[in-house]
Amino acid sequence: MTHTKRHAAAEKARYPAAPDNPPPTQQHFAHISRYWDRENQGYAAKLLPGEYYVTTAGERISTVLGSCVSACVRDRRLGIGGMNHFMLPLDASKGSSIWGTAVSAATRYGNVAMERLINDILKLGGRRDSLEVKLVGGGRVLGGIAIDIGARNIEFVRKYVADEGFSVAGEDLGDIFPRKVHYSPETGKLRVKKLNAVRNDTLYERERHYLEVLDRDPVGNDIELF
Amino acid sequence: MARLIMTVDDSASMREMVRATLQSAGYEVVEAVDGQEALDYARENACDLVITDVNMPRMDGITLVSELRGLPHYRLTPLLLLTTESSQERKLEGKRAGATGWIVKPFNPEQLLATMARVL
C-alpha cells in the first residue's frame, strides 16, 4: 500500500462516509444548500445573504459574513434553533422618513428577517422565555460605500433583541474582518473564524449584489382583501 | 373621536412599528400581546378595527378572528391578519375564520393605511 493510499484509508476510517441524504427538512427550506461536514460527522446548511434556516435534526449551520449580520437563536431546553443572514436595505430611495426610524423600510425588513427565524422556532415548540441569542458579523468590509453598513446592521440587531426582551448570550460583532461562522443549534456553540480582509472579492460581490436587490425590491406589497 | 384600532402581536418590535404607523395617521391604538389577551379585551370593549399577527402563543390570530366573529359587537368589525405567512392554505384558513384581509410582512405603511381606510 502506498503512503497516499494508507493515508486515504486512515482518513476514511476516521471519517465514515456521509449518509446518502441529509435529514428531512421543512418545505420552505428545500432550496437551502446542505453538505456533509466530515469533521463534525453531520450535515450542515450553508446560508447565503437573505436566507435563514432552522433545524431540529442536530445539523450545523454555516455562513460567511462581511457587513451582514447573523442572529443565532435556539431554544436551550429543546436544542433546536437556527440562524439568519441579512443586512438592512439602504433607506434613501424608499422615502419613508415621515414615519421616522421606527417604521423605516430598513427596520421593517430587519424585523421580518428576525421574526421569520424566531417564529419558525416557536412553531416547532420553542418558547420565547427559553430562547438563547448570539449575534455575529457586521464587519466594516464594504469599501466604497459611504456609510458603515456593518455598524448599521449591528445597531439594528442589538436594538431588536433588546426590544424583544432577549438577552445576548454571546456576540462577535464589528471590526474590519469578514467571518466564517459555524453554529450548532443543538449545543449553542458558535465558532467564528476571522478571514483575511483583502482576499474576499466573492464575498463582497455577493453582499453588494444582495444590497442592490434589496434596494430595488419594494418592501411590503402583498395585501389581499377577502 | 379618533377611531380605536387594536394591534395584536407577540413581538414588541412589530407592535411598536404598527402603533407608530397608526398614530401617525391619527388613530388611537390599543395593544395586545397574544390572541387571548386581545379576546379578553374585546369581550368588554368595542374596537373599530383589529390588526392581528397569526403565530402567537396561547391563542393564534386565526383562532382570534373566529372567536371575535362569535361576539355580537365584532360581527362586522374589519379584522386584518398581518403575518410573515404567505401560503394560500393559511390565507384560506383566515378567510374561512372570517378575516377581512391578509397582509404579508414586511408591511408598507402607506399601503397598510390605505387598506384600513378602504375597510373602515
Summarised one tens digit per residue, pLDDT across range A139-193 is 988 665 656 889 999 999 999 999 999 989 999 999 988 999 999 999 999 999 9
Position A57 in a domain: no
Number of domains in chain A: 1
C-alpha closest to that of A139 among A196, A68, A210: A68
Instruction: Tell which wins on pLDDT, A104 or A33.
Output: A33
How far apart are alpha carbons A136 and A117 in whole angstroms?
15
Does position A111 have pLDDT exceeding 70, yes or no?
yes
Nearest CA in chain B to A106: B106
Which stretch of A62-76, A106-120, A189-203, B67-81 has the lowest confidence by average pLDDT?
Answer: A189-203
Q: Does B94 touch chain A (CB under 8 A)?
A: yes
C-alpha closest to that of B7 among B92, B85, B105, B86: B105
Show the cell assigned to A26. Answer: 421543512
Buried b (16+ CB within 10 A) or exposed e, B35-50: bbbbbebbeeeebbbb
Tell me what percent of the residues of chain A surpass a pLDDT of 70.
81
Q: Cβ contact (<8 Å) for B108 and A221?
A: yes
Examine the residue annotation and report whether A72 is marked as an active-site residue of this protein.
no
Per-residue pLDDT, averaged over A47-53, amounts to 95
C-alpha closest to that of B106 among A6, A107, A22: A107
Position A30 in a domain: no
Amino acid A94: pLDDT: 47
Structural domain boundaries, residue B91: 4-119
Nearest-by-Cβ selection for A103 from B11, B17, B86: B17
Position A59 in a domain: no
Does position A98 have pLDDT exceeding 50, yes or no?
no
Give the single-character DSSP code of A48. Answer: P
Q: Cβ contact (<8 Å) for B14 and A115?
A: yes
Position A177 in a domain: yes
Show the cell assigned to A206. Answer: 455577493
Amino acid A95: pLDDT: 44
Q: What is the CATH number of the domain that holds B78?
A: 3.40.50.2300
Per-residue pLDDT, averaged over A16-41, amounts to 86
- Confidence class for position A204, pLDDT limits 50, 70, 90: confident
* Residues of chain A found within 8 Å of residue B102, distances taken between Cβ atoms: 223-224, 226
| 3-state class (DSSP) for residue A69 | strand
Q: What is the CATH number of the domain that holds A123?
A: 3.30.1330.200
Number of domains in chain B: 1
B 1-40 residues inside an 8 A Cβ radius of A: 10-14, 16-17, 20-21, 24
Q: Is A79 left (phi over 0), alpha (psi -120 to 50) or beta?
A: left
Amino acid A89: pLDDT: 84
Q: What is the ipTM of this complex?
A: 0.87
Per-residue pLDDT, averaged over B87-109, amounts to 94
Position A146 in a domain: yes
Amino acid A99: pLDDT: 44
Structural domain boundaries, residue A112: 64-216
Alpha helices in A124-191 (DSSP H): 149-163
Nearest CA in chain B to A94: B108
Position A145 in a domain: yes
Nearest CA in chain A to B112: A223
**Which of A122, A161, A226 has the highest number of chain B CBs within 10 A, making it the mutation to test binding with B?**
A226
Unique residue bearing C-alpha cell 387571548: B36
Does position B72 have pLDDT exceeding 50, yes or no?
yes
- Triad A219, B15, A148: Cα angle to 5°: 50
Position A55 in a domain: no
The catalytic position among A65, A68, A80, A88 is A68
Q: What is the pLDDT of residues B15-34, one digit of tens each?
A: 999 999 999 999 999 999 99
Does position A93 have pLDDT exceeding 70, yes or no?
no
B81 Cα to chain A: minimum distance (Å):
10
Instruction: Tell which wins on pLDDT, A215 or B89.
Output: B89
Q: Does B119 touch chain A (CB under 8 A)?
A: yes
How far apart are alpha carbons A180 and A94 in whole angstroms?
32
Q: Cβ contact (<8 Å) for A115 and B17?
A: no
Q: Cβ contact (<8 Å) for B105 and A111?
A: yes
State the burial class of residue A27 (Cβ atoms within 10 Å of its Cβ: 0-12, 13-18, 19+): exposed
Amino acid B62: pLDDT: 97
Instruction: Tell which wins on pLDDT, A92 or B109.
Output: B109
Position A84 in a domain: yes
Q: Across the A/B interface, how many CB contacts are shorter than 8 Å? A: 91
Amino acid A164: pLDDT: 94
Q: Cβ contact (<8 Å) for B119 and A225?
A: yes
From residue A33, give the alpha-carbon distance in Å to each of A185, A219, B79. 17, 26, 39
Q: Is B20 left (phi over 0), alpha (psi -120 to 50) or beta?
A: alpha
